[in-house]
Amino acid sequence: MNTIKKSVKSLLLVSMSCSLILGLSDCTSTSFLSRTKGKTVSPAKHGQSKSKDPANYAISASVVGGLPGTRIEQYMEQQTIQLRQQLGGIAQIERLGEGIKMTFQSAILYPEGSYVLSNDPQPFVKKLAQVLQDFKDTEILVAGHTDSQGSLKVNQALSEKRAEALADFLQAHGVPQLRIVTEGFGETTPKASNKTLDGRRQNQRVEVVVVANQRLKEEVRKAVESGSVVQN
């Protein structure tokens, strides 16, 4: 499997920037977010919890903010429009500040208990890959989640393998490997009660998070320093 399988914290040791990794790691080094002169947003101030909602936390931690931040928001809005047109309703697509969060129910992507991508959603995932290629100034988190049925160990492994399988498919269809981080959260991040069938279905999901990459954020930083507004 070609997709990077290291933890987010381990990825701090390789060339991928901190802009996405910061959201799910304990990175304390001087990052772009702490160096920029634009307004930064603390995830804690927005009520985001890394342990309860890692996708939203990653987006909040990646925020540049300030007037030039609208450049990133516009970029994400254009991408969101494309995603909603191409994915045909198989995912819930949310614009959250300067990021995008896509939620795929596992039952749509995989056979029950499996991490092998089903045939039916593949044409849509190919379109997802194309949009991600078209909007290349982003980094992508693919996060797997399960319900609480079965053991912690099995659920953790399944969440990791499902995230990796989706990431591998995106990579095979043109999304560069170094833009993608995968992470599995097992049953630790439920959206609903595991006591009901509907709740368990909601908890079995894969979330794809899209945030600005370092190049786009550097563009914003330069705009802040020069006092100019970055145009599309």
Residue 231 banded pLDDT, cuts 50, 70, 90: very low
What distance in Å separates the CA atoms of residue 51 and residue 36, rounded to the nearest whole number? Answer: 27
- pLDDT for the residue numbered 232: 47
Share of the chain above pLDDT 90, in %: 62
Residue 133 banded pLDDT, cuts 50, 70, 90: very high
- pLDDT for the residue numbered 92: 96
Better-predicted residue by pLDDT, 224 or 207: 207
Query: Within the chain, how many helices (H) and strands (E) appear?
Result: 9, 5
Q: Express each pLDDT in 88-129 by its tens digit.
A: 889 999 999 899 999 999 999 999 999 999 999 999 999 999
- Residue 189 tokens, joined: 């991040």
Residue 48 banded pLDDT, cuts 50, 70, 90: low
- pLDDT for the residue numbered 212: 95
Better-predicted residue by pLDDT, 215 or 38: 215
**Least confident span in 5-14, 85-94, 106-115, 197-206:** 5-14
* Residue 171 neighbours by CB under 8 Å, 6+ apart: 2, 3, 177, 180
Note whether 12 and 25 are within 8 A (CB).
Answer: yes
pLDDT over threshold 80, residue 39: no
Q: Express each pLDDT in 164-173 by its tens digit.
A: 999 999 999 9
- pLDDT for the residue numbered 19: 47
Among 179, 191, 203, 214, which Cα is nearest to 19's? Answer: 214
> Domain spanning 10-226 has what CATH number?
3.30.1330.60
- pLDDT for the residue numbered 109: 98
Residue 229 banded pLDDT, cuts 50, 70, 90: low
Distances (CA, A) of 226 to 38, 69, 83, 230: 12, 14, 33, 10
What residue spans of 88-213 are helical by DSSP H? 106-109, 122-134, 152-172, 197-203
Task: Say if strands 99-105 and 92-96 run parallel, antiparallel, or are unpaired.
Answer: antiparallel
Note whether 108 and 68 are within 8 A (CB).
Answer: no
- pLDDT for the residue numbered 166: 98
What is the residue whose two structure tokens read 């992507």?
Answer: 109
Among 167, 201, 202, 170, which Cα is nearest to 184's? Answer: 167
Among 70, 98, 75, 76, which Cα is nearest to 228's? Answer: 70
Among 176, 79, 183, 95, which Cα is nearest to 128's? Answer: 79
- Residue 180 tokens, joined: 């993608």
pLDDT over threshold 80, residue 41: no
Distances (CA, A) of 219 to 155, 224, 232: 40, 9, 11
Strand partners, 182: 142
- pLDDT for the residue numbered 70: 83
What distance in Å separates the CA atoms of residue 193 and residue 13, rounded to the nearest whole number? Answer: 37
Residue 207 banded pLDDT, cuts 50, 70, 90: very high
Among 70, 14, 103, which Cα is nearest to 216's? Answer: 70
